Amino acid sequence: MKKYYFDYASTTPVDSKVVNAMKPCYSGIFGNPGSIHRFGQEASAIIFKSRNSLAKLIGCDYREVIFTGSATEANNLALRGTLKALIQNLKIKNQNDNLKIKNNSAKRGSEHSRPRIITSAIEHESVLETCRDLEEEGLAEIVYLPVSKSGIVDLKKLKTSLNERTVLVSIMYANNEIGAIQPLFEISKIINDFKKRNFQSSITPDFIEDPRQGRDNFQTNSKKGETHNDQKNWELGIGNWELGTMYPLFHTDAVQAFNYLDCDVGDLGVDMMSLSSQKIYGPKGVGCLYVKNFGGFRGNKFISSIITGGGQEEGLRSGTENVPGIVGFSKAIEIAFNLREIENKRLKKLQEYFWVNINPTHNLCGGIKKRFSKIVLNGPKIGVDRLPNNINIYLQKNLIFKLDLAGFAVSGGSACSARLAKPSHVLRAMGCSIEKSSESVRISFGRQTTKQEVDRLLKVMHSILK
Ligand code: PLP
């Protein structure tokens, strides 16, 4: 039986040019990049080249790229690393100022006094589960922003959720299930406006004792009765501290976006961005986190490592680098970047063909919407705020299995949780019923998808549903 792949949002086949770029790393260039000798230097040089090339394509400095083992790990680093650094910095500050951290510090803070992380209800599990963990550990208060019926994050709610305790906003660029593209630029503007208004604001989780205690020598130039900014910030806790002005940081999970959307970190206005190699026709098991440098590489002050050891990757991700993976990832980024415009246009056409167009030459081709009156499209309208390779539909029960039996690979929720057959949290957040959230099907196109393949899929769907 011929097999048809319509699950490119789950993973992509490795591009042959990527395979060729990786080959030398499996033979000649095998040294440990951390070794001083020639073998090590060769490996280190090839990583440097890859890092530099990748950095240029996302508009950052090479030292701002931290290679990880996956985007899941990059997301974990962004969230856990931000919180860890905050806690470490507060401890250092406390020691310097003779302040005490309360016993069993973080857990004692009430929910309303912990550092706040704002995310959305439709993030990938690697963000949501991490948030839940941080919440359970008592380290953060998490705000899950609601989304509209088409899956776009509620910006009004974002505005009202930002407060002086907010350390991080983590919103994905494009959703993996419904392809909804989030307005990152607007989000970045909202955060920046908030920062401007609250330039002197600061964060005081209540696991810190009153910072005024023990500060007998507190000096202020302010007149009596008037609160000097420094003093005000001291009262708040850490405001006088240079980090105060960085928060809230803005992180995005751009895993699904890179193939089709501008991912220049400057254009997007993000401080951190996660990418995954396997979604862009690169090898599996490698990803990266862009981490903005606010001054001074090594020991970046607002993020701490969550994997400790030899101090690779600017000290943020220990472990011998996956040299072939990094080389392949960088090559994949280069190819995806160069194909972005062409693929975007081609897949947009294919998506429209699948959804609305009727092929005049064959009455069973194109235009699924017109053929099945009961079909429901989940997510944004075709062509508006939606990735060009994503279709998410609800038609009838067990469609995924029937299609699989006919040789067509489509998907339910995200790949990692699809096997659990639980209702999609994304569709639930959009207000869909449990049945619809459990039985909807994601069809995702990619570089190898042709019009002929789409027609075959449509024909099979037609015969299944007859
Ligand atoms: N973020 C999104 C939006 C994803 O779709 C995925 C994978 O499905 C991930 C993160 C995790 O990527 P990785 O498999 O590299 O950990």
Q: Is the pLDDT of residue 219 over 50?
A: no
Q: For residue 388, say if its preceding peptide bond is cis, omega within 30 degrees of 0.
A: no
Domain 45-331 is found in CATH 3.40.640.10: yes
Mean pLDDT value of segment 26-45: 94
**Atom 7, ligand 1: residue with shortest CA distance:** 10
Q: What ranges do the domains of the chain cover? A: 4-13+340-465, 45-331
Which residue from 124, 153, 286, 329 has its CB within 8 A of the most atoms of ligand 1, so it is best to mutate?
124
Question: Which CATH entry fits the domain spanning 4-13+340-465: 3.40.50.150, 3.90.1150.10, 3.30.70.20, 1.10.287.990?
Answer: 3.90.1150.10
Residue 410 CB-half CA count within 13 A: 30
Highest mean pLDDT among 26-35, 104-113, 123-132, 197-206: 123-132
pLDDT at position 351: 95
Question: Using CB atoms within 10 A of its CB, is residue 421 exposed (0-12), middle (13-18) or buried (19+)?
Answer: exposed
Out of 199-203, 343-347, 412-416, 439-443, which region has the weakest mean confidence (pLDDT)?
Answer: 199-203
pLDDT at position 300: 59
Residue 311 Cα distances to 255, 321, 339, 430, angstroms: 25, 11, 35, 42
pLDDT at position 413: 63
Answer positive or negative: Cα dihedral of 4, 6, 9, 14. Answer: positive
pLDDT at position 198: 79
- List, chain by chain if needed, residues with CB within 6 Å of any ligand 1 atom: 70-72, 124, 126, 172, 176, 253, 255-256, 276, 278, 287, 414-415
Q: Is the pLDDT of residue 213 over 90?
A: no
Q: Is the pLDDT of residue 248 over 90?
A: yes
C-alpha 251 to ligand 1 mean position (Å): 15
Q: Percent of the chain, pLDDT > 90?
A: 69
Which residue from 68, 279, 425 has its CB within 8 A of the most atoms of ligand 1, so it is best to mutate?
279
Beta strands 166-170; 116-120: pairing state: parallel
Cα–Cα distance measured from residue 9 to residue 347, given in angstroms and rounded to the nearest whole number: 13
Cα–Cα distance measured from residue 63 to residue 66, given in angstroms and rounded to the nearest whole number: 8
For 373-421, how does the pLDDT look when each residue is reduced to its tens digit (9 = 90+)? 889 999 999 988 999 999 999 988 888 999 999 999 999 865 445 555 6
Long-range contact set of residues 292-298: C-beta below 8 Å, sequence gap at least 24: 292/60, 292/64, 292/265, 293/61, 293/63, 293/64, 294/246, 297/63
Mean pLDDT value of segment 440-453: 96
Q: From the alpha carbon of 175, which atom of ligand 1 is closest? A: 3
Cα–Cα distance measured from residue 129 to residue 123, given in angstroms and rounded to the nearest whole number: 10
pLDDT at position 421: 66
Out of 134-148, 221-235, 259-273, which region has the weakest mean confidence (pLDDT)?
Answer: 221-235
Tokens found for residue 373: 């009156």
Mean pLDDT value of segment 167-195: 97
Distance from chain centroid for Cα 270: 11
Name the residues annotated as catalytic.
416
One fold for 4-13+340-465 and 45-331: no
For 53-110, how does the pLDDT look when each residue is reduced to its tens digit (9 = 90+)? 999 999 999 999 999 999 999 999 999 999 999 888 877 766 666 544 444 444 445 6
Q: Is the pLDDT of residue 228 over 50?
A: no
Q: From the alpha carbon of 10, which atom of ligand 1 is closest? A: 8
Cα–Cα distance measured from residue 234 to residue 422, given in angstroms and rounded to the nearest whole number: 48
Q: From the alpha carbon of 286, which atom of ligand 1 is closest? A: 15
Q: Is the pLDDT of residue 326 over 80?
A: yes
For 275-316, how does the pLDDT look when each residue is reduced to its tens digit (9 = 90+)? 999 999 999 999 999 999 876 545 557 899 999 999 999 999
Q: Is the pLDDT of residue 156 over 80?
A: yes
